[in-house]
A and B are shown apart, each in its own frame.
Chain A
Amino acid sequence: MSKDDIILEEATSGEYKYGFTTNIEQDIAEIGLNEDVVRFISAKKNEPQWLLDYRLKAFAIWQKMDEPNWAHVKYSKPDFQRISYYASSKEKKKLNSLDEADPELLRTYEKLGIPIEEQKMLAGVAVDFVMDSESVFTSFKKQLAEVGIIFMSISEAVQEHPELVKKFMGTVIPPRDNFYAALNSAVFSDGSFVYIPKGVRCPMELSTYFRINAENTGQFERTLIIAEEDSYVSYLEGCTAPQRDENQLHAAIVELIAMDRAEIKYSTVQNWYPGDKNGKGGIFNFVTKRGLCQGVSSKISWTQVETGSAVTWKYPSCILKGDHSIGEFYSVAVTNNYQQADTGTKMIHIGKNTRSRIVSKGISAGHSENSYRGLVQINKTAENAYNFSQCDSMLMGETCGAHTFPYLEIKNKTAKVEHEATTSKIGEDQLFYCNQRGLGDEEAVHLIVNGFCKEVFKELPMEFAVEAQKLLEISLEGSVG
Chain B
Amino acid sequence: MIAIKNKYTEAFEKLKKSENSAEAHALKRFQKMGIPNRKSEVYKYSNLKHFKNLTPSTEGRIPHKLPEYFTHQYLLDKHLLVTVNGVFAESLSSYEGDEDGIHISCMCDARKEFRDIVESHYNETSTEYPDAFSEMNTAFAQCGIFIYATKNAQAKKPIVMLHLGYNQPKDSLTCQRNLIVLEQNSEVELIEDYVNIDKEEAFNINHFSEYFIKQDARLKVNIYQEDSNQVHFIGNKFFELGKGSNLKVTTLNFQGEFIRNNFRVNLNGEHGEATLNGIFINGDKDHTDSRILIKHNAPNCESFQTFKGILDDQSTGVFNGKVFVAEGAQKTNAFQSNKNILLSEEATINTKPELEIYADDVKCSHGATCGQLDENAIFYAQTRGIPREKAKKLIVFAFAQEVIQDIDNELFKNFMERRLVHNLDLAEYSTHGSVQSGIKE
Interface residues of A (CB under 8 A from B): 70, 72, 378, 380, 393, 395-425
Contact = CB atoms under 8 A, between A and B. Distances in A.
Contacts of A70: 41
A398 B360 CA distance: 5
Contact of B342 (A400, A405, A410, A419): A410
B349 interface: yes
Given A411-B348, A415-B372, A423-B362, 6 more contacts: A395-B360, A402-B355, A403-B356, A410-B350, A421-B366, A425-B361
Contacts of A422: 364-365
A400 B342 CA distance: 38
Interface string B317-329: 0000000000110
Given A398-B359, A417-B371, A410 B349 contact: yes
A400 B360 contact: yes
A393 B356 CA distance: 11
A416 B355 contact: no
B61 interface: no
Given A398-B327, A410-B350, A425-B361, A404 B344 contact: no
B349 A419 contact: no
Nearest to B352: A407
B107 interface: no
Nearest to A395: B360
Contacts of B342: 410, 412-413, 415
B396 to A, nearest CB: 13
A408 B351 contact: yes
A397 B372 CA distance: 42
Interface in B347-393: 347-372
Contacts of B345: 380, 412-413
Contacts of A408: 349-352, 368, 370
Contacts of A72: 356
A418 B369 contact: yes
A333 to B, nearest CB: 15
B277 to A, nearest CB: 19
A412 B348 CA distance: 7
A418 B338 CA distance: 10
A417 B351 CA distance: 11
A398 B362 CA distance: 10
B352 A405 contact: yes
B360 A410 contact: no
Most buried by A among B327, B342, B355, B363: B355
Nearest to B349: A410
A413 B355 contact: no
B340 interface: yes
A396 B361 CA distance: 9
A424 B366 CA distance: 12
A337 B347 CA distance: 45
Contact of A407 (B350, B363, B365): B350
Contacts of B340: 410
B377 to A, nearest CB: 15
A410 to B, nearest CB: 5
Contact of B353 (A399, A406, A410, A411): A406
Of listed B330, B344, B353, B357, residue having the most chain A CB within 10 A:
B357
Contacts of B360: 395-398, 400, 425
Contacts of B357: 393, 395, 401-403, 423
Given A398-B359, A417-B370, A419-B368, A406 B352 contact: yes
Contact of A404 (B41, B343, B354): B354
A439 B108 CA distance: 69
Contact of B354 (A399, A405, A410, A418): A405
A235 B362 CA distance: 38
Given A396-B360, A406-B353, A413-B345, A420 B366 contact: yes
A169 B357 CA distance: 40
Contacts of B368: 406, 408, 417-420
A401 B348 contact: no
Contacts of A412: 342, 345
Contacts of B359: 395, 398
15 contacts: A398-B328, A398-B359, A404-B354, A409-B350, A410-B340, A410-B342, A411-B348, A413-B343, A415-B372, A416-B369, A420-B367, A421-B365, A421-B367, A425-B361, A425-B362
A397 B353 CA distance: 24
A403 B367 contact: no
B358 A401 contact: yes
B355 A423 contact: yes
Given A398-B328, A403-B356, A405-B352, A413 B366 contact: no
Contacts of B350: 407-410
Contacts of B344: 413
Nearest to B372: A413
Given A403-B354, A410-B342, A423 B364 contact: yes
Nearest to A409: B350
B362 A424 contact: yes
B348 A410 contact: yes
A415 B349 CA distance: 11
- 7 closest Cβ pairs, A-B complex: A413-B342, A395-B360, A404-B355, A423-B364, A419-B368, A417-B370, A422-B365
Contacts of A398: 327-328, 330, 359-360
A144 B86 CA distance: 75
Contacts of A406: 352-354, 368
B327 A419 contact: no
B371 A419 contact: no
A60 to B, nearest CB: 23
A415 B327 contact: no
